[in-house]
Amino acid sequence: MRNLRRIRRLLSLLLHAALGAVLTLAFTRPRQVAPGPVFDAIACWWRARIGRILGLRIVTHGQPLPGPALWVANHISWIDIAALGGFVPVSFLSKSEVRNWPLIGWLAARGGTLFIRRGQRGGADTATEEITWHLIRGRRVILFAEATTTRGDRVRPFHPRLFATAIRAGVPVQPVALRYPPHPGAEAGAPHPTVPFVDDDTLLAHAWRVLGEPRIDVEMTFLQPLATQHGQERKALALAAHDAVDACVTGAGTRAARIEQPGGYA
């Protein structure tokens, strides 16, 4: 039964990827700096559809800011992209290696994903300029500020450098906490047994396990936005965002009223 589910979902994903390629060719240009509002809506729908194929059941807490903002979230898995990116139109920051992935890299680049060359001279400076430009243009940008994935039971320190983009653009920072509750009967606070994409796991092996899950519950908590002002210390801003997300993930914080979206998405 599990393998039949995997095969059915894999075929659905392949067809959906092909549709994504056709839509991308039709609604984007090779050297455009950012996608337009029509393709933004299409990309949001496309990512949401991936979430439904994977069996995501998303519950949200709080409210996302309606205008431009730097969203900073903890990072657990590549599934985070389908969950967050299928909620509202956003741009992601990804490692530059993703740009070279077959089809996925091309779709990401044409869909407005920003890339950072980690470990290379000037890589962070270039990413800072691009993120700032997108924020000034009125876009939302999502930053996984831990710069790595975790098992979801704790939040690693947030790297402060790219928080300067929100200060420069004069937009707020909204912390976003992601949780994947474990299966019923698991120990309280235990990480989900399948979702975390960590250590030396490979994308194909991890995706095969995910495709076998009957459903995956996701909790997204949009926390109180943090105002920015010229001359603000980015380290203090990063620490405040980290503490808000960590309190929510570890259960130390008070959660907003529960709002469940029909079918898992808005």
Domains of the chain: 2-264 (3.40.1130)
Tell me what pLDDT residue 100 has: 79
Q: What is the pLDDT of residues 31-90, one digit of tens each?
A: 776 788 899 999 999 999 999 999 999 999 999 998 999 999 999 999 999 999 999 999
Q: Which residue bears the tokens 């380290």?
A: 235
Under DSSP, is residue 176 helix (H, G, I), strand (E, B) or coil?
A: strand
- Identify the pLDDT of residue 245: 98
| Residue corresponding to tokens 């000037």 | 122
pLDDT of residue 9: 97
Listed residue (155, 151, 180, 134) closest to 72, CA to CA: 155
DSSP 95-122: EGGGGGSTTHHHHHHHTT-EEE-TTSTT
pLDDT per residue as tens digits for the range 178-193: 999 987 767 766 889 9
User: Looking at residue 120, what is its pLDDT?
Assistant: 61
Instruction: Give, in order, the Cα–Cα distances in Å from 231 to each of 145, 167, 228, 236.
Output: 21, 8, 9, 12
Question: CA-CA distance, 146 to 92, in Å (whole number)?
Answer: 14
Determine the length of the chain: 266
Among 70, 78, 81, CA closest to 141: 70
pLDDT in tens, the chain (266 residues): 789 999 999 999 999 999 999 999 999 887 776 788 899 999 999 999 999 999 999 999 999 998 999 999 999 999 999 999 999 999 998 887 887 777 888 888 888 888 887 656 666 788 899 999 999 999 999 999 999 999 999 999 999 999 999 999 999 999 999 999 987 767 766 889 999 999 889 999 999 999 999 999 999 999 999 999 988 999 999 999 999 999 999 986 443 333 333 334 33
> How far, in Å, CA of 205 to CA of 182, rounded?
20
The H or E element containing residue 130 is helix 123-136
CB atoms within 10 A of CB 21: 14
- Rounded to an integer, what is the distance from CA 219 to the centroid of its chain? 13
pLDDT of residue 149: 95
Q: What are phi and psi of 13, to 5 degrees?
A: -65, -40
